[in-house]
Every structure is written in structure tokens, then in C-alpha cells.
Chains A and B, each alone.
Chain A
Amino acid sequence: MARVVFAAVLAGLILVSLGLGAASLAEDGAWLLMVSRFPRTAAALLAGAGLALAGVVVQQAVQNRLVEPSLTGTPEAAMLGMLAVTLIAPGLSVAGKMLVAAASALAGMAGFLALAERVPRQDPMLLPIVGLIYGAILGAVATWAAWYTDLMQYLGIWRLGEFSGVMQGRYEWLWVVAGLAVLLYAVADRITILGLGEAQARSLGLDFRQTRGLGLVIVSVLTALVLVTVGAFPFVGLVAPNLVSRWRGDNLRANLPLIAGLGGTLVLAADVIGRLVGHPFEIPAATVFAVFGAGVFLWLLHAAPGRSHG
């Protein structure tokens, strides 16, 4: 039943998103759909799915539900990489820029992991706070670098995720998310085992470090892809996996599609709401989502451990 409702909501959102905009679909409808409305809808779904998947992988990798990529310094590190490319090699191909962003995201993630291994585990709130500070430091460096090089505008675009600029030819990199989602599904059991902790995972014969490394490479690529094409969306990686975990548990073999679907749905909903509230003007989807996401985050911090429904 819940799944039917979920599918219906998603279908409704897609229809609204395709029909919504300043121009009417009555004239040149097919062209408009192909060039603008479909790319925008697909971008929101793919970005949301990618961020949600990145979130659950980080959470399993460090065995902490309260972290997500934006609480690990990863987007800030990717921004630093993009700033460097813009300064040093502005003529680099999009693929090259994407690669640099992913590599610097990975370096940022490695720094976070080094911190995480030194943070005591007794209090799960400690790690997200450490990650927040680490990200803020990297972000400050990025701001400083952008200020001195007159690139503040770029930083502003990356920092605030939104979809108004998405058009055919400018979002297609996000389809890589779909490929990575398939790859993650293939290793879903291994990612679940990561969540049991290093000793348990190794006792089950899993190469813990190699598997975690693979997971975090995927997270870095996902984060960089979304950041570079549509900007940063805090909370998505936190909210979608946690809602699914409370609803359906932690078995990723069963739940990864749901996590990706919920992430996509939530981001698309945020985009649709942002386009409806002040029509014909728009509120960035990341801003809309932050209001909702912050609320859910507070609820997650305070809610009692969920009871199961057997």
C-alpha cells in the first residue's frame, strides 16, 4: 500500500514538473518538454537519488547514521578542486573538470575518514559535529581563494543547488548517477556488512578497507557530479536513508532502490514547491529542501529508537 502511494506521488510530481513553467506547453510543447522540462525533471530525480545513495554509503562506512556527504567536507573539497581548475586550466573539458572535482572530493573524504578514526564512538553526535567543522574550514579556504581570485560568483552557484539553469546539453553528466546506482546495488550486501563494523566485517571475510574505499570513491563521484551540475543540496543524504531505515530497516539489498527513489522524489518535490510558491519566480530547490530537511534532522536527533512492525 505504502509503495503504491509512493509511486503515485512520484508520478504526480513528474507530471506537475513537466507541465510547470513560464511558457505554455500549448505552443511548441514537444520542443519545450525535450529541451527544458524533461531535463529539469530528470536532473532533480537523478541528483536526489545520487545524494541519497551517497548518504547511505557514508553512513554504513563510518557506522553513524547522522552523517552525510555534506557533513564530511566532501562538497567543499570538490569546490576547491573546481576553483583550482577554473584558475589553472579553464579550457579543460567538462569530463576533465568533473574528474578533478571527483578527485578533490575524494581527498576531502579521505581527510574526513582520518578524523573519523580518531573520534570516540560512544556519542554518535560527535562525528557529524567534527565533520561540520572540517567542512566549514575547507569552505572557508574556498571562500578565501574565491575572494582573492574574483570567483565568488562560481562559489555562489555551487553552494546553492537549484535547477532553473538545467537544459538539454547541460545536465547529462547526471546520468552517471544511474550507472553508479546499478554498481552500488551489485555490492549492496558488502555495504550492509560495512555497517556491522570493521571487526565483524573482516570476520565475515570481507576486505573491509578495500570495500570502504570503493564505497567512498562512489560517494565522492556522486557528490562531485551533483555539485558541478546543479549545486549543493544539504540534508538529502541524511533524510532519505534515515526515513527508509526507520520504515524498512537496514538491509540495503532490499532498500537501496527505495532510498534512491525517496531521495529523487524529495528533491523533485522541493523543486516543484520552489516553482509554485512564488510563481512565476522561483525559490532554489536547495532552500526549500533545507527547511524540510532541517526539521526532519531535528526529529531524527530527538525521536526515540523506532519500533519495528515485524
Chain B
Amino acid sequence: MIEVRSLTYRVGDADILKGVDLELPEGGITALIGPNGAGKSTLLHSIAGLNRPAAGTVRIGTLDPFAASGPARARTVALLQQTPVAVSRLRVRELVAFGRWPHHRGRVTSRDEDIVDEALAAFALTDLAGRQVETLSGGQRQRAFIAMTWAQDTPWMLLDEPLNALDPRHARDLMARLHRLSRETGRSVVIVLHDINAAAGWSDRIVAMKDGRVFAHDTSTALLRPDTLAAVFDTPFDVLEHKGRPVVVAR
């Protein structure tokens, strides 16, 4: 379980996070939604131990990501940032293999090799393994970075807007893959999404943030109501139902 208590993060005089309290149970996909500047990305970085907060605590199980050693933290939680360095001339397999680094720290075992192969297969990259990341399309490149994060083999995987710059087919494909993989492996995924319908379609629960705080936290169906969404985004929405799932339409 992830427990966030009274988390405050400050840049200069601006409070980006204003006392966030949040409990996320293990398993499934949690979507983090909210308007630009709500603090979603900052919260994700704080949970991953990369942003040291001004106040408050984070626990991932028993691990304190700010006190833990780098490798211990990196074996518990993996973060993929929003815009990974795009110009890498690493080959896809080399990139994905770096996900194993917190485990082997330079001494690669055959188990590491196997996990890299599995991650390549899980994200349909086996045929691209020898290609340089730089030469891939946007969708393939995003898959390669997510496969690296997957190969890190952590109980918690945090993805910051992974659907950015993906066309509908690749976005759907990625969400379906993550949904299936998290079911199969029991690993927990926290994912920042701007597409509310991607959250509606694939996530088990949604955390809506606004203005540096958690505004609402519930199952997808319970949270996606016109009044809640209107209050989070300050804009009117209709929520329809399609094949038993909510579909959100900006009015």
C-alpha cells in the first residue's frame, strides 16, 4: 500500500502540493487526473522519492522513499517521466536492459536477461530489439521506455502521462497491455492521464487532483459524475454510459 500523509511540496513561494493525504491499495491501475498544474506529476515524483517534500511523509509498504538507498528504492518503485530523453542511440534491448540495473548494478545474471526478454515480448518489441531508440516512431519509443520501467520489476510502477503524443490506436493498445499485465502479475500501476475516457475505460480507481490537493478518490464509476468532474476541471461535462462503462463528454 502507498500511504501519503500531509505531503507539502514547495517551489520558491508556491505550494505545488498542499497537504496531500492519499492511500492507494495494492493491485490494479490507479489513474491520476486533474487540470494542468494540479500537482499530479509532482505527487508522482514525490511518491517515487525524487522530489523531497517540505513536509509530510510517504510510505510504500514499509519503505520510506526519501530515506531508502537508491537501489532499495528503485527495486520498490519505478517512475517513467513525462518526456524521456528522445535522442538516445541505445538499442531497444540495451535501453530495456537498463531497467535491470537496480537489481544487478553491473553484474548481469541470466535471470536479468530473461526478464528483459519478457519485457520486450510484453510490449511487442522483440522484433525491434536491435533498433536504435532514436529511429523508432513515437509510439514504439514510448513502449520501449515503458518496457524499461516494466523490466525494473517493481511492485509499484508510476507513469507520468505515457499517452502523450500517442495516436488513439497506440494509446488504446498501451492501456490494454498495462491492464492485462497488471492483472497477470499483480503489480500496481499509477498513471497520470489527461484523457478521462482512458481512465474510465482501463483504471480500477481514479484520484482527481485540483490545486495541489486530492479532490476526490474513488472507483472509476463512482468518481466519474458530472458534478465531481465539473468541480475538478471547472468546466461542464456529460457522463454517458456505453457498454456498462462511463463515457465522459465535455459539454
Are A and B subunits of one complex? yes
Interface residue ranges, A against B (CB under 8 Å): 63, 65, 189, 192-193, 195-197, 199-200, 202-207, 245-246, 249-251, 305-308, 310
Query: Which among A199, A204, A246, A310 is the interface contact of B131 at CB below 8 angstroms?
Result: A310
Q: Please, which residues of chain A bring their CB within 8 A of the CB of B98?
A: 189, 192-193, 196, 204
Total inter-chain residue pairs, C-beta < 8 Å:
86
Q: Given A197-B81, A199-B45, decide whether A205 and B134 contact each other with a Cβ distance below 8 A.
A: no
Q: Given A202-B70, A203-B50, A206-B70, decide whether A196 and B91 contact each other with a Cβ distance below 8 A.
A: no
Instruction: Flag if A189 contacts B85 (CB, 8 Å).
Output: no
Any A CB within 8 A of the CB of B12: no
Q: Given A203-B50, A308-B132, A308-B135, decide whether A196 and B70 contact each other with a Cβ distance below 8 A.
A: no
Chain B CB within 10 A, most for which of A189, A245, A250? A250
Q: Please, which residues of chain B bring their CB within 8 A of the CB of A250?
A: 88-90, 94
Q: Please, which residues of chain A bring their CB within 8 A of the CB of B152?
A: 203-204
Instruction: Flag if A199 contacts B71 (CB, 8 Å).
Output: no
Instruction: Flag if B84 contacts A196 (CB, 8 Å).
Output: yes
Q: Please, which residues of chain A bring their CB within 8 A of the CB of B130?
A: 308, 310
Instruction: Flag if A200 contacts B101 (CB, 8 Å).
Output: no
A and B contact pairs by CB, cutoff 8 A, 29 listed: A63-B85, A192-B98, A195-B88, A199-B45, A200-B80, A200-B84, A202-B70, A203-B48, A203-B78, A203-B80, A203-B81, A204-B74, A204-B99, A204-B101, A204-B102, A205-B70, A205-B71, A205-B101, A207-B70, A245-B89, A249-B89, A249-B94, A249-B132, A250-B94, A251-B91, A307-B135, A308-B91, A308-B132, A308-B134
Instruction: Flag if A65 contacts B101 (CB, 8 Å).
Output: no
Q: How far is the CB of B102 from chain A (nearest CB, A)?
A: 4
Any A CB within 8 A of the CB of B73: yes
Identify the 3 closest CB pairs spanning chains A and B, nearest first.
A205-B74, A205-B70, A308-B132
Any A CB within 8 A of the CB of B168: no
Chain B residue with the shortest CB-CB distance to A250 = B89
Q: Please, which residues of chain B bring their CB within 8 A of the CB of A245?
A: 89
Chain A residue with the shortest CB-CB distance to B101 = A204
Query: Which among B70, B81, B89, B106 is the interface contact of A200 at CB below 8 angstroms?
Result: B81
Main secondary structure of the interface of A (DSSP, over half): loop
| Residues 42 to 68 of chain B near chain A (Cβ within 8 Å) | 45, 48-50
Instruction: Flag if A199 contacts B102 (CB, 8 Å).
Output: no
Q: How far is the CB of A295 from chain B (nearest CB, A)?
A: 22
CA distance A306 to B89 in the complex (A): 9
Any A CB within 8 A of the CB of B172: no
Query: Which among A189, A205, A251, A310 is the interface contact of B106 at CB below 8 angstroms?
Result: A189
CA distance A199 to B45 in the complex (A): 9
Any A CB within 8 A of the CB of B75: yes
CA distance A193 to B70 in the complex (A): 14
Chain A residue with the shortest CB-CB distance to B82 = A199
> 13 additional contacts, CB 8 Å, given A200-B80, A203-B80, A206-B70?
A65-B87, A195-B88, A196-B88, A199-B50, A202-B50, A203-B48, A204-B98, A205-B72, A305-B87, A305-B135, A306-B89, A308-B91, A310-B131
CA distance A205 to B104 in the complex (A): 11
Chain A residue with the shortest CB-CB distance to B91 = A249
Q: How far is the CB of B60 from chain A (nearest CB, A)?
A: 13
Any A CB within 8 A of the CB of B96: no
Q: Given A204-B99, A245-B89, decide whether A199 and B79 contact each other with a Cβ distance below 8 A.
A: yes
Q: Please, which residues of chain B bring their CB within 8 A of the CB of A308?
A: 89, 91, 130-132, 134-135
Query: Which among B75, B89, B132 is the interface contact of A205 at CB below 8 angstroms?
Result: B75
CA distance A167 to B132 in the complex (A): 44
Chain B residue with the shortest CB-CB distance to A305 = B134
Q: Given A197-B85, A204-B98, decide whether A249 and B45 contact each other with a Cβ distance below 8 A.
A: no
Chain A residue with the shortest CB-CB distance to B103 = A205
Write out, one digit per residue, whether chain B residues 142-179 have a CB within 8 A of any chain A CB (1) or not (0): 00000001001000000000000000000000000000
Q: Please, which residues of chain B bring their CB within 8 A of the CB of A310?
A: 130-131
Q: Please, which residues of chain B bring their CB within 8 A of the CB of A305?
A: 87, 134-135
CA distance A113 to B251 in the complex (A): 49
CA distance A207 to B101 in the complex (A): 13
CA distance A193 to B85 in the complex (A): 11
CA distance A250 to B93 in the complex (A): 12
Chain A residue with the shortest CB-CB distance to B76 = A205
Q: How far is the CB of B166 from chain A (nearest CB, A)?
A: 19
Q: Please, which residues of chain A bring their CB within 8 A of the CB of B149?
A: 203
Instruction: Flag if B94 contacts A251 (CB, 8 Å).
Output: yes
